[in-house]
């Protein structure tokens, strides 16, 4: 059974169910069938829930909820501190299984990815292949998954969200009028809460309403993203499944030569601030964030050094870039007069696609700042999309290499 005609593509979207909690259950089978949550500061009542098992969700336990609130809903809740090495290892094993079916596997985050099996079915029914894959992930790794099957990436992603846990859903273009279009607009992949509010403001409540809205009106409201969303809702998405996308090396940088060689910290700080603002503006125009930051130092004797820092969480704001650039600069500056400075954001990712590395310290700090984000959203909604924007601040880990890396570093050493 072909999903979308003989000449159509057959795309799978694999979404692991409650991944962190599932990995913990695989590691400790005694947790199976019990309400489990992963949280920062698990020993403290104020710790924040990062994710939880479906058994916990039945009690109303949710992500970002404080532990004391979750335990009030579910007194028997078992709370575990995250083990990211364990999660990365399970992720690599999961993607290895996917590549047994097709070489066309595109990781999206630690627990999800796309597969193009169009030319790799060997005559098998795609739904049977999906069942085989789902069974292998469960039997070999003890990890549950949901799989969406469709003729393109957007529809496959939507399909995988329709049945959880352990669901397999086929989404055909000819059936979108009854399977996709009746859904609330907020459930559409690519439509966040802020975008949904904007669409609601012009009377768009369902995906079908989006289809019926004039393209010019959407473009006026959301820019080019409005046009893109309408095409996706109509089932149009030509993006290929690209395994090499994890090796893409993207950067935005700027450098400047000082009028005279200088070792004056005040003058150097002023230049770092100016460069950070320039890089930030360019990143905002492209709507991207940087996973790494690089600082180039050229001394008066023309010796040049570049030092790069990998960020736990991506950044784009001028303040965050300046802060990290200064940290890198002052760690490596010898004190000798400087001729040129440069700052570059590396391993860029689209803001909408960025998957924040779960650092429990920063996760809880972000949860505390939720009121700030809400105010920013309201200002942007009233005065324009980019009136107020802010990067994501995180700790850093020094990296002296200048090579490329997957922006989700759990797959950095997949080929080792």
pLDDT at residue 109 in the model: 83
Q: Contact, 158 vs 229, CB < 8 A?
A: no
At 165, phi and psi to the nearest 5? -85, 170
- CATH architecture of the region 1-172: 2-Layer Sandwich (3.30)
3-state secondary structure at position 163: coil
Please pick, among 112, 277, 323, 364, the residue that the annotation labels catalytic.
112
pLDDT at residue 248 in the model: 57
The CA distance from 270 to 268, in Å, is 5
Q: What pTM does this model have?
A: 0.65
User: Which residues are known binding-site members?
Assistant: 15, 111
Long-range contacts of 191-195 (CB under 8 A, 24+ apart): 191/229, 192/352, 193/377, 194/377, 194/380, 194/381, 195/222, 195/225
The CA distance from 144 to 138, in Å, is 6
pLDDT at residue 63 in the model: 86
pLDDT at residue 301 in the model: 87
What are the b/e assignments for 367-399, b being 16+ CB within 10 Å? eeeeeeeeebeeebeeeebeeebebbbbebeeb
Q: Classify residue 259 as exposed, middle or buried by CB count within 10 Å of its CB (0-12, 13-18, 19+).
A: exposed
DSSP H helical segments within 189-233, as ranges? 193-201, 207-212, 215-222, 224-233
Task: Kindly give the confidence (pLDDT) of every residue in the chain, 416 residues in length, as a single tens digit, with 9 standing for 90 and above.
Answer: 444 444 689 999 999 999 999 999 999 999 999 999 998 766 665 678 988 999 999 999 998 888 999 999 999 999 998 888 899 899 999 999 999 999 999 998 889 999 999 999 988 999 999 999 999 999 999 999 999 999 999 999 999 999 999 999 999 999 999 999 999 999 999 998 889 999 999 999 999 999 999 999 999 999 888 999 999 999 999 999 998 776 554 688 888 889 899 999 999 999 999 999 999 998 888 778 888 899 999 998 888 888 999 887 788 899 999 999 999 999 999 999 999 999 999 888 776 555 444 444 455 555 554 455 445 555 555 555 444 544 433 333 333 333 322 233 334 334 33
At 186, phi and psi to the nearest 5? -65, -15
Closest CA to 78 of 17, 30, 110: 30
pLDDT at residue 383 in the model: 54
Closest CA to 135 of 173, 97, 171: 97
Q: Does domain 248-411 have CATH number 3.30.1490.100?
A: yes
User: Which residues are known binding-site members for Mg(2+)?
Assistant: 15, 111
Domain coordinates in residue numbering, the chain: 1-172, 181-233, 248-411
Q: How far apart are the first and last CA of the chain?
A: 38
Q: Contact, 376 vs 341, CB < 8 A?
A: no
pLDDT at residue 379 in the model: 58
3-state secondary structure at position 113: strand
Q: Is 112 among the catalytic positions?
A: yes
pLDDT at residue 395 in the model: 36
Q: Contact, 387 vs 327, CB < 8 A?
A: no
CATH number of 181-233: 1.10.150.20
Q: Contact, 87 vs 23, CB < 8 A?
A: yes
The CA distance from 410 to 85, in Å, is 8
How many C-beta atoms surround the C-beta of residue 341 within 10 A?
23
Do the two domains 1-172 and 248-411 of this chain adopt the same fold?
A: no
């Amino acid at each position: 059974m072909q999903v979308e005609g003989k000449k159509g593509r057959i795309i799978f979207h694999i979404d692991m169910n409650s991944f962190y909690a599932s990995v913990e259950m695989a590691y400790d089978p005694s947790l199976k069938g019990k309400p489990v949550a992963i949280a920062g500061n698990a020993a403290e009542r104020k710790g924040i829930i990062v994710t939880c098992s479906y058994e916990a969700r039945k009690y109303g336990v949710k992500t970002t909820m404080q532990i004391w609130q979750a335990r009030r809903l579910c007194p028997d809740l078992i709370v575990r501190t995250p083990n990211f090495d364990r999660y990365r290892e399970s992720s690599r094993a999961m993607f290895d299984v996917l590549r047994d079916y097709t070489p066309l596997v595109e990781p999206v985050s630690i627990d999800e990815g796309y597969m193009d099996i169009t030319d790799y079915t060997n005559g098998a029914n795609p739904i049977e292949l999906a069942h085989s894959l789902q069974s292998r992930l469960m039997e070999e790794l003890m990890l549950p998954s949901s799989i969406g099957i469709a003729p393109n990436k957007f529809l496959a992603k939507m399909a995988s969200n329709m049945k959880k846990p352990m669901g397999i859903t086929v989404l055909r273009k000819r059936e979108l009028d009854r399977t996709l279009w009746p859904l609330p607009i907020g459930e559409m992949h690519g439509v966040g809460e802020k975008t949904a509010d904007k669409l609601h403001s012009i009377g768009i409540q369902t995906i079908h309403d989006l289809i019926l809205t004039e393209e010019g009106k959407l473009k006026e409201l959301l820019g080019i993203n409005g046009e893109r969303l309408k095409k996706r809702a109509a089932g149009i998405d030509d993006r290929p499944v690209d395994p090499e996308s994890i090796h893409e090396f993207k950067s935005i940088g700027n450098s400047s030569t000082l009028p005279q060689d200088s070792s004056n910290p005040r003058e150097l700080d002023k230049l770092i601030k100016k460069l950070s603002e320039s890089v930030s503006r360019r990143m905002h125009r492209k709507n991207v964030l940087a996973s790494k930051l690089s600082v180039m130092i050229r001394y008066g004797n023309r010796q040049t050094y570049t030092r790069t820092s990998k960020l736990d969480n991506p950044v784009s704001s001028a303040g965050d870039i300046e802060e990290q650039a200064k940290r890198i600069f002052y760690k490596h500056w010898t004190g000798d007069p400087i001729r040129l400075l440069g700052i570059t954001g590396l391993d860029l990712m689209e803001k909408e696609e960025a998957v924040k590395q779960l650092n429990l310290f920063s996760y809880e700090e972000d949860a505390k700042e939720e009121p700030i984000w809400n105010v920013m959203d309201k200002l942007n909604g009233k005065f324009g999309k980019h009136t107020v924007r802010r990067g994501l601040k995180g700790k850093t880990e020094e990296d002296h290499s200048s090579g490329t890396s997957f922006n989700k570093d759990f797959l950095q050493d997949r080929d080792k």
